[in-house]
Structure 1
Amino acid sequence: MNSLNLGKLGFGGAGIGNLYRAIPDGEALATVLAAWDAGIRYFDTAPHYGLGLSEQRLGAVLRDKPREEFVISTKVGRLLEPNSTGGQDPEGFDVPALTQRVWDFSEKGVRRSIEDSLERLGLDHVDIVYLHDPDVHDLHAGISQGLPALEKLRSEGVVRAIGVGINSAEAALECVEAADLDLVMLAGRYTLLEQPSVPLLERCAERRTGVVSVGAYNSGLLARPEVPDDAHYNYDQAPPDVLERARALAAICRDFAVELPTATLQFPLRHPAVVNVTAGATSPEQVATNAARMEAPVPAELWSALEAAGRD
């Protein structure tokens, strides 16, 4: 495991890339500044987030901060190429489709992706680079081309640490076995609601590969003290059985005077392989709330009660 200190809470940059809805520039920049003011020093982004908008906005704030005081990660695997067809981005970000994503896991593509990201960020280097979504596109190409390219870049000193940003715990495990990774950024597969990734985390602990947990709120299902009927799960309407399980967790938390989102945000760090929980935000208020939840006291008895409920 690389010696980078990410802190307990990181800032995820998808929201400031206009994920699902447009955010004014001023609000986005104020959100990043709020993260800095809250003591957050790890920031994650990707070309995929708003067709480069997230990187541009993050860099607009961070390039004025002391470079040695923060850690920044971006991702490779999707190059942004000119798009002549126009319209809006078809992949969930509220931005004009001036460019289009082109998958490329080759060494040439990985190197160009990093160069393009640095230009958008206005920085001279990034600390961590993740191979983005190999499970979505082509896991074999990711393992045979993308990961060796990242290992080479790390050996050259272009980046300090490498990893994969991924949704599938099974695919992540294949990547961990195939390459010398510093980190796995795992989305939504180790949360208070469900832990299908325990075998992956145990292997990461053995190999000293750190896990950055993202998606802790399970698409918003666990983001509020009370779980509403229209809550989302895996980016869709939560089915009745999932709503019931989430409400049972909320009830246990209430018994110990702890709000569900507070336990949710802190839970992943209870596993020794998890080195950071990164959460997105689209307003300064959300950043402040996340930071307060990460530091709120949680009695050991609550964790015991939640573990007992999970075994029932």
Structure 2
Amino acid sequence: MREARDRCAVTTPPPGDTAVVLGGAGFAGLYRPVREAAAREVLDTAWQNGIRAFDTAPHYGAGLSEERLGRFLRDRNRGDFTISTKVGRLLYDDPDAPDGVDCFYGAPKRSRRRDYSATGVRRSLEESLHRLGLDRVDTLLIHDPEAHMRAALDEAMPELERLRAQGVAAGIGLGVNDVGAALRFVREAPIAHLLIAGRYTLLDRRAEHELLPECARRGIRVLVAGVFNSGVLADPVHRTTFDYRTAEPAVLARARSMQRICADHGVPLRAVALRFPARHPAVAGVVLGAGTPEEVEDSLAMLDIAVPEELWRELTERALW
């Protein structure tokens, strides 16, 4: 096991540095079932390599992500790690719940229901804290409210402010993959944190035009997730998924052309994809979607690879959005 990185261990990185966060979907069965022992190994590998920040949600594996993370952290000092989780989906026991809902496999028999009311938000956090075995979280995010914006702004957001005032959520914000929804929250709500997934990548730079500059002006801490756009930027030959579905031919062609350009410079495409978000001054951290110990190790190794400026210049005009 390689030595732990001081860079990964901090939750608020020094200027010019970027925090590394382990996302909770991969070890909760996203795309494939993950056994308990295998999930534990993922978390062990991340911890041993210095990662101390974790992002999860009730949605990930219908509570399985929070439960596994809670068991892993149970005997660790609370001051040694940070946790972000989300509200907006309530879970219900459901013996008829099918496997593979929203691409999560091996999940408990639970169904999800959207709820952005103040009561739903409070209940969601209470249940998350129970699954995590904690009495507070470091960051609480409203999750995917695109179709429920009025309730999210008028009901969920004020409840998040009350929860912050009560000390059970130190920071509040939004977790989303829609740039329009993110911009509206940034401009209308008192958020301090934004997790944007899949919209600031080598292929999809839609967050770059208005959202990231707006966050920088307002001092909002931005985490970027989904840097591989669901897999195509990790390996566009063998992993042809883009934004949770089969990639269109134009997307595959662009990703493969990027891979060839990177190979000409002797740099793996996935290294460039992982390092790309940190080039923007508004980005405070990158969320790793690793679901196996090998993927954790590989991602951290890729973050240590230098990318020449000439390569960045060649890739600048090749984004699709």
- The one of 63, 81, 92 equivalent to 1:70 is 81
Deviation of 1:280 after TM superposition, in Å, equals: 1.4
Question: Any conservation in 2 of the 1:187–1:213 contact (CA below 8 Å)?
Answer: yes
Structure 1: runs of 5 or more not aligned: none
Q: Distance in 2 between matches of 1:145 and 1:157?
A: 19
- 1:127 counterpart SS class: strand
Structure 2 residue 293 is matched with structure 1 residue 284: yes
Q: Distance in 1 between matches of 2:228 and 2:175?
A: 17
**Counterpart among 41, 52, 55 of residue 44 in structure 1:** 55
Provide the rounded CA distance (Å) in 1 between the counterparts of 2:87 and 2:302: 31
Q: Deviations over 1:55-111 (max 9, x none)?
A: 011111112222111111111111112325354353322235532212211222111
The answer to whether the 8 Å contact 1:48/1:78 transfers is: yes
Equivalent residue, structure 2, for 1:168: 178
1:263 alignment counterpart: 272
Relative to structure 1, the CA distance from residue 95 to residue 249 in structure 2 (aligned partners, 3 Å threshold; closer, same or farther) is same
Judged with a 3 Å threshold, the aligned counterparts in structure 2 of structure 1 residues 109 and 18 are, in CA distance, closer, same or farther, namely: same
Question: Which runs of structure 2 are paired with 1:3-82 in the superposition (5 Å)?
Answer: 4-5=11-12, 8-82=19-93
Give, in whole Å, the separation in 1 of the partners of 2:203 and 2:33. 30
Indicate whether 1:191 and 2:198 are aligned: no
Q: Which letter does structure 1 place at the counterpart of 2:33? A: A
Calculate the TM-score normalised by the size of structure 2.
Answer: 0.90
Does the aligned pair in 2 maintain the 1:186–1:212 contact within 8 Å? Answer: yes
Query: Which moved further from structure 2: 3-12 or 202-211?
Result: 3-12
Match of 2:218 in 1: 207
Corresponding position: 1:299 with 2:303: no
Q: Write the deviation string for residues 198-252 of structure 1: whole angstroms up to 9, x where unpaired.
A: 211110001111111011001101002xx21761112222122111211221122
Q: Does 1:240 align with 2:252?
A: no
TM-score, length basis structure 1: 0.92
Q: For the aligned residues, what is the CA RMSD? A: 1.9
- Tell me, in whole angstroms, the C-alpha distance in 2 between the residues paired with 1:218 and 1:86: 27
2:182 is matched by which residue type in structure 1?
A
What is the 5 A alignment of 1:102-121?
102-121=113-132
> In the alignment, is the contact (CA less than 8 A) between 2:265 and 2:311 conserved in 1?
yes
**Aligned partners of 2:97 and 2:111 also within 8 Å:** no
In the alignment, structure 2 segments of 5+ residues that lack a partner are 1-9
Structure 1 position 142 matched with structure 2 position 152: yes
Show the counterpart of 2:4: none
Q: Distance in 2 between matches of 1:234 and 1:78?
A: 20
Between the aligned partners of 1:231 and 1:16, the Cα distance in structure 2 is: 21
- Matched residue of 1:192: which SS? coil
Q: Could you say which residue in structure 2 is the equivalent of 1:90? A: 101
SS of equivalent residue, structure 1 residue 174: helix
- Name the CA distance, whole Å, in 1 between partners of 2:97 and 2:316: 51
Q: 1:142 to 1:299 in 2, by over 3 A?
A: same
What's 1:101 paired with? 112
| Cα distance in 2 for residues equivalent to 1:156 and 1:208 | 23
Q: Which amino acid aligns with 1:5?
A: T
**CA contact 2:57–2:85 (8 Å) conserved in 1:** yes
